Structure 1
Amino acid sequence: MAIDLDALRRAPDLEGPNLVAADAADRLVLDLAADALAAAAGVPGAVVVIDDAYGALALAAVDAGAREVRVHQDPITGERALAANARRLGVPESDRPRSLPLSPALVAGARVVLMRLPRSLDRLDEVAATIASDAAPDVRVFAGGRIKHMSLAMNEVLGRRFERVDVSHARQKSRVLVASGIGARPAEPLRPAERRDDRLALTVVAHGGVFAGTSVDIGTRFLLGVLGDAVPDAASAVDLACGSGVVATWLARERPGLVVHASDRSAAAAASAALTAAENGVDDRVRVTRADGLEHLPDASERLVVLNPPFHSDAAVHTGIAAHLFAEAARVLEPGGELWCVWNSHLRYRPLLERTVGPTRQVARNAKFTVTASVR
């Protein structure tokens, strides 16, 4: 492997001393797939890469001779990091991987699939079903991860779609599952899950891997209990880091005529939010965008932003994600506008909110969560 994986960067995602763009699991996938990549070298479209964090797998495949590599990465920041790393390494534009949605077109005719194992079994099943639907019959899937995030259930999920699943030896706390032999092709694409929440009178639709799936997490439920008082005369609102779209859909339903701009960097989340809004009959007023923060909205344009911020960057707990989202909210809020935010109380975000957005008051608090309103 000639490519220097240590030269890769995570930007525009968070960067820091303990946050790497390529790890031991990436290296193990590439080592175990070396012969398969060599056999596929020069064959257009033979190699597909899924859930590659920052481009390590895709760019190494190109370096090994793969051509017309198709890639799907859930976060838009991952796509941008891959593109930036390709430019930084001097990969010719004609050889750069092409990003596609998770769909049959992504995997059509693929003979080698390199991927990182998602933590969510629902996400893994959705990916496996997509591969099994349209990849070449002799496709081999090399799915790697850190052992602490893997489970035997992953073997079972892959085993439902493939005739054989081999498990590699462990190396540097990483392991790879190698799936081969497509079983019966799925009769139709795997549908996202849905569930009715009787307490909220909402139906939640979620693709695999979306935070909380079809459930309403307890932080969001706590926030919704007090959100009726948030800038009641606003003509529009923003659901930042919208996940499955519960907050956006609830706001649109509770306030007839309100337009809600929902955004998430995750492709699965954005697609789920659009489906949740449609299922509940408010898709005409919920506008969903896959975006890094609120890059699609102009400065000082909104009176209300609502946020339940994530605090993980991959496996690492990192406050930089919340800081980025708070700054995006501050930029988009007009003077006097408010950011309503729910957060785990132990994270003590109030000083950061005061500095980044403006004067912050506590709206509600229970044993685990705090809801605050920050005025721009």
Structure 2
Amino acid sequence: MPDFSFDRLRRFPDVEADNLFAVDASDRLILDEAAGVLAEAGSGEVVVIEDRYGALTLGAAALAGARGIRVHQDVLSGELALTLNAADAGLADSYRSLILGEELLTNARVVLIQLPRSLAALDEFADAIRRFAAPDVVVIAGGRIKHMTPTMNAVLRQHFGELQVSSARQKSRVLRAAAPTASATQPTVSTWPNSVEHADLGLTICAHGAAFAGATVDIGTRYLLEFLDRMKTDARSAIDLGCGTGVLAATLARRRPALRVTATDQSAAAVASARATMVANALADRVTVVRDDALQSQPDASAELIVLNPPFHIGSSVHAGIALKLFEDAGRVLQPGGELWSVWNTHLGYRPALTRLVGPTHQVGRNAKFTVTVSTGR
């Protein structure tokens, strides 16, 4: 058996800090509750969804002997962390990473899930399992009780005929679902992404379940949109960093037809959503959408204009680390004299960090909740 310890797991290249962890009690509980079905599963019959940094995948491989594990992680930094942790544990050949869909789930008999915060994401996961997994599939989905709601039970009951709720352990709980439903009233093809027409913006926004804000426009992005016409008017190219569903990228491309726009996000759901948004608005030939960990695939001093509405949380933890990581990468990629336009919750006070990591920063707008700044590359 490979030398495996949960204590060796790291979050890297995601943000690491003393109060951020690569594994928690819910990972251990999911594996314990799944021990029986994992022991009976054959090679290639185990699927793991939303494994944060590899605890579920590598735990199933090392502790239960699972092989041919198929894994879907929405966040690229988690996928990269799994790669590094698997290599460290000698388990690199025990799994493969796939997008959410048929190849991931066909004939799966055991599915382990770290419950997402988004009910829409859970619905999309459960719908895909119902359509593609084996009829005798067992789903073991768990999380921290403080992040679980009774509505999660209702979502799973829409797709499965059996649902059991475990006892609590170390402030964690597991939902065990089985007997995927099949009826004439349920679609046999995916209904995702959702799409909503926003007449005020002249855009149709498309969103998969795990995409931030869904097919709505979050209020920070809506405020930053007010400044688009002031953003480096001579720029020939722009990057929408952390693009989500692609609202900023699509609006930039539409208002400034000569601009080449790249939209980048580390979320697989966001990237799929943004691509669908570009197709829906006839912009697919003018906006390139890429999945990236911050701007790691972009060369130094290559961007004339970057727009950013940074997240203020990492998973379920409120933490400035992810915003600082994005600022630092934007500072590296921005050309001297290029502009980074950011919108952020005023109480976060990001201006000193932007000045340090990017360049001279000044406020160009402020309302009751948000501040908009422009930083000039050094």
TM-score norm. by structure 2 comes to: 0.97
What is the identity, as a one-letter code, of the residue corresponding to 1:153?
Answer: T
Q: What's 2:153 paired with?
A: 155
Pairing partner for 1:112 from 106, 110, 113: 110
Structure-1 separation of matches of 2:207 and 2:190? 15
Aligned-partner SS, 2:32: helix
Q: What's 1:126 paired with?
A: 124
Deviations for 1:48-93, whole angstroms, at most 9, x for unmatched residues? 00000000000011111111000000011111111100111122x4
Alpha carbons 1:129, 1:190 under 8 Å: kept: no
Q: What's 1:340 paired with?
A: 341
Structure 1 residue 182, shift from structure 2 partner: 1.0
Structure 1 residue 230, shift from structure 2 partner: 0.3
Aligned-partner SS, 1:125: helix
Q: What's 1:21 paired with?
A: 22
Alpha carbons 1:236, 1:258 under 8 Å: kept: yes
Structure-2 separation of matches of 1:189 and 1:278? 18
Deviations for 1:342-368, whole angstroms, at most 9, x for unmatched residues? 000000000001111111111100010
User: For 1:87-98, what aligned pairs fall within 5 Å after superposition?
Assistant: 87-91=87-91, 93-95=92-94, 97-98=95-96
User: For 1:186-201, what aligned pairs fall within 5 Å after superposition?
Assistant: 186-201=187-202
Q: What's 2:9 paired with?
A: 8
Structure 1 residue 283, shift from structure 2 partner: 1.1
Pick which of 185-194 and 236-245 moved more.
185-194
User: For 1:1-376, what aligned pairs fall within 5 Å after superposition?
Assistant: 3-40=4-41, 43-63=42-62, 64-91=64-91, 93-95=92-94, 97-184=95-182, 186-376=187-377
Structure-2 separation of matches of 1:301 and 1:187? 45
Structure-2 separation of matches of 1:178 and 1:208? 21
Structure 1 residue 257, shift from structure 2 partner: 2.0
What is the identity, as a one-letter code, of the residue corresponding to 1:60?
Answer: G
Structure-1 separation of matches of 2:177 and 2:7? 28
Structure 1 residue 44, shift from structure 2 partner: 1.8
Structure-1 separation of matches of 2:8 and 2:51? 16
Structure-1 separation of matches of 2:143 and 2:43? 27
Alpha carbons 1:29, 1:114 under 8 Å: kept: yes
Please report the RMSD computed on the Cα atoms of aligned residues, expressed in angstroms: 1.2
Alpha carbons 1:141, 1:179 under 8 Å: kept: yes
Alpha carbons 2:366, 2:372 under 8 Å: kept: yes
Question: How many pairs does the alignment contain?
Answer: 372
Structure 2: give runs of 5+ residues left out of the alignment.
none
Alpha carbons 2:240, 2:249 under 8 Å: kept: yes
Deviations for 1:236-271, whole angstroms, at most 9, x for unmatched residues? 100000000000000000001211111000000011
Structure 1 residue 94, shift from structure 2 partner: 3.0
Structure-1 separation of matches of 2:141 and 2:226? 41
Deviations for 1:268-301, whole angstroms, at most 9, x for unmatched residues? 0011111111111111111000000111211111
Structure 1 residue 156, shift from structure 2 partner: 0.8
Structure 1: give runs of 5+ residues left out of the alignment.
none
Structure-2 separation of matches of 1:127 and 1:347? 33
Structure-2 separation of matches of 1:297 and 1:235? 16
What is the identity, as a one-letter code, of the residue corresponding to 2:9?
Answer: L
Structure-2 separation of matches of 1:234 and 1:202? 23
Deviations for 1:154-193, whole angstroms, at most 9, x for unmatched residues? 1111101100110000111111000000111741123211
Aligned-partner SS, 1:37: helix
What is the identity, as a one-letter code, of the residue corresponding to 2:52?
Answer: A
Alpha carbons 2:339, 2:376 under 8 Å: kept: yes
Structure-1 separation of matches of 2:180 and 2:306? 46
Deviations for 1:187-220, whole angstroms, at most 9, x for unmatched residues? 1123211111122111110000211111101110
Structure-1 separation of matches of 2:133 and 2:99? 15
Alpha carbons 2:192, 2:209 under 8 Å: kept: no
Pick which of 264-273 and 185-194 moved more.
185-194
Alpha carbons 1:48, 1:106 under 8 Å: kept: yes
Aligned-partner SS, 1:33: helix
Alpha carbons 1:245, 1:276 under 8 Å: kept: yes
Structure-1 separation of matches of 2:17 and 2:336? 33
Structure 1 residue 130, shift from structure 2 partner: 0.6
Pick which of 319-328 and 189-198 moved more.
189-198
Aligned-partner SS, 2:254: helix
Structure-1 separation of matches of 2:195 and 2:281? 12
TM-score norm. by structure 1 comes to: 0.97
